Amino acid sequence: MKAIKITLSLIFSILYINSFGQLTIGAQIRPRAEFRNGFKTLTTKERNPAFFIEQRSRFFADYNSDKFEVKINFQDVRIWGSTDQIYKSETGSLTNIYEAWGLYRLNRNWQFKIGRMDLDYNNARFLGDLDWAAQGRSHDALVITYKTDSSDFRLDIGGAFNQSGFEPTKLSETFYTGLNNYKTMQFIWLNKKFDNSEISAIIQNDGRQIQSDSSIAFRQTYGLMASSKLNTINFTAEAYFQSGKNAADNDVNAYMLSASLSIPTQLTPITFGFDMLSGSSINNTNDKSFNPLYGTNHKFYGFMDYFYVGNTHGQQGKVAGLIDIFLKTKFKVNTNSNLLAHAHIFNSAADIYDPENLTSSVSKYLGTELDIVYNYTFDKDVVLNIGYSQMLAGESMEYIKTAAGDHEAFNNWVWLMISFHPKLLLDK
């Protein structure tokens, strides 16, 4: 903490002395209480639920001038009570730098950004900042951007090279170990806006260190996203394909498809659609499971995080994929509040087998999830969220989750979160 205080003092001193730009100072205090009784995986009738309060605290400073911009964002993440009230050292908490980057504008069309940053593109399906999670997701990267004067076209070219350890020990070799991360990554993202539509494309190369030798397995992802508005109806579609090798050096041949339609009604807009992510069965030798890699998966596949959020769903170490048919809506309760409601019907994309009988497949139906979230705005900088989710699981859900659970148990999740996020703007 002393180092953070000294760093902040130096930053503010420099920025005030050289006050030729715009300084934004902001903070966030975001505690979230959760009652977990079948969250991420099925519970049992005998298992006791979990309850805890996790808090994210952030403090950032952003300095923006005509030619360059600099941002530093500190964060502290902890569960209430995870440290002693009186201590000289602590465990069970995370205090780190979430963002620390500099951006330089070469001219009015070209710029580059370098340092620790979040990568958040389109709807965050494949590259997202993972803001729901207290710790978020950030990359150490370089991104070069070109955009037209009218901002209707943009091109981002980015890359990263990761290495573990500390500088004094780096005298030879670049073997990357001990972290579940890419060793090297490159991407190209293009976005074009029209009057009533938008189209984006992404090509990403993800290199993972193979731990058995010094080689690197490269997986490629190709994505195309489009959205269009016809009168009052909104349509979106996405298609991704993956090839190359995974971290186990197995061939990858996977895809992801998504489409949705939003229609206004007299009461509230209604969105319905599907997500289909290919999967691997126990009989597949190649990897046919699409991996959303760095997306904000909590946003898409049910708020209870049964799929693609820090836990697996599949058999014999293979991800079974997912077919998600959803219906979503959002009611305006009054000027300060609204009610969000989602319904998901989940099916496996790959065949599922009863572990006691691997000769014939069972039903691909996994379950139905219902999500309700109430949002209330006390002030533009203070927002309250209350959520309830219910999983009505099918028997096959038991077969694809690694933790033993009961699909007939009452699997639910309740949470309450309040966010304070004030900002102070100091003009030049």
**Helix (H, G, I), strand (E, B), or coil: what is residue 3?**
helix
Residues of the chain with pLDDT under 50: 17
pLDDT for 311 equals: 86
pLDDT for 83 equals: 87
The residue type at 420? F
Q: Which residues of 362-371 are buried (b: 16+ CB within 10 A; e: fewer)?
A: eebbbbbbbb
Phi-psi region of 115 (alpha: psi -120 to 50; beta: other; left: phi over 0): left
Whole-angstrom distance, CA of residue 417 vs CA of residue 176 = 38
Whole-angstrom distance, CA of residue 98 vs CA of residue 95 = 9
CA 222-280-182 angle, to 5 degrees, is: 50
DSSP string, 299-353: GTS-TT--SSSSS--EETTEE--EEEEEEEEEEEEETTEEEEEEEEEEE-SS--E
CB atoms within 10 A of CB 19: 14
Per-residue pLDDT tens digits for 127-152: 999 999 999 999 999 999 999 999 99
Per-residue pLDDT tens digits for 188-217: 999 999 999 999 999 999 999 987 788 999
CB atoms within 10 A of CB 341: 14
The residue type at 4? I
pLDDT for 270 equals: 96
pLDDT for 11 equals: 58
pLDDT for 202 equals: 98
pLDDT for 86 equals: 81
Whole-angstrom distance, CA of residue 176 vs CA of residue 384 = 42
Whole-angstrom distance, CA of residue 114 vs CA of residue 121 = 17
Whole-angstrom distance, CA of residue 386 vs CA of residue 417 = 6
Residues in CB range of 425: below 8 A, 6 or more apart: 22, 23, 24
pLDDT for 16 equals: 56
Please provide the CATH number assigned to the domain covering 2-426: 2.40.160.100
Residue ranges covered by each domain of the chain: 2-426
pLDDT for 358 equals: 86
Whole-angstrom distance, CA of residue 44 vs CA of residue 15 = 56
